[in-house]
Amino acid sequence: MRKRNKRGGEIIRLREVFKFYQLGESIVKALDGVDLAIKQGDFIAIVGPSGSGKSTMMNMVGALDIATKGDIFLDRINIEHLHESQLAQIRGRKVGFIFQTFNLVPTLTALENVMLPMVFQRVPLRERQMRARELLVEIGLGNRLNHLPSELSGGERQRVAICRALANDPDVILADEPTGNLDSKRGEEVVEMLNRLSEEGKTIIMVTHDLDMAKHADKIYKLKDGKIVN
In a domain, 207, yes or no: yes
pTM assigned to the model:
0.89
Predicted confidence (pLDDT) per residue in 109-128, tens digit: 999 999 999 999 999 999 99
In a domain, 74, yes or no: no
Residue 88 has what pLDDT? 87
150: CATH = 3.40.50.300
Question: First and final CA of the chain: distance in angstroms?
Answer: 34
What is the number of domains present in the chain? 1
Reported confidence tier of residue 1, pLDDT bands at 50, 70, 90? very low
Predicted confidence (pLDDT) per residue in 203-213, tens digit: 999 999 888 89
Give pLDDT tens digits for 58-103. 989 998 888 999 999 998 999 998 988 888 888 888 999 998 889 9
Picking from 49, 44, 50, 148, the residue whose alpha carbon sits closest to that of residue 104 is: 148
* pLDDT, tens only, 157-198: 999 999 999 999 999 999 999 988 888 888 888 899 999 999
Is residue 23 domain-resident?
no
* 162 within 8 A of 139, measured Cβ to Cβ: yes
Q: What is the pLDDT of residue 2?
A: 41
Pairing of strands 95-99, 77-78: unpaired
Burial class (CB in 10 A: 0-12, 13-18, 19+), 190: buried
- Which residue range(s) make up the domain with 143? 41-65+83-228
Query: Which is nearest to 59 in space by CA: 171, 176, 168?
Result: 176
Beta bridge partners of 120: none
Q: Return phi, psi of residue 69, to 5°.
A: -155, 145
**3 domain residue, yes or no:** no
pLDDT at 23: 84
With respect to residue 24, please indicate whether it lies within any of the assigned structural domains.
Answer: no
Distance CA 19, CA 158 (A): 30
| DSSP H helices in 83-228 | 84-94, 110-120, 125-138, 154-166, 184-199, 211-214
Quote the pLDDT of residue 7: 60
* β-bridge pairing 69-74 and 77-78: antiparallel
14 has a pLDDT exceeding 50:
yes
Cα(86)–Cα(92) distance, rounded to whole angstroms? 10
Q: Assess contact for 206 and 48: CB atoms under 8 A.
A: no
Residue 204, in any domain of the structure: yes
Residue 33 lies in a domain: no
Contacting residues for 122 by C-beta, under 8 A, at least 6 apart: none
What mean pLDDT do residues 52-57 have? Answer: 90
75 is a domain residue:
no
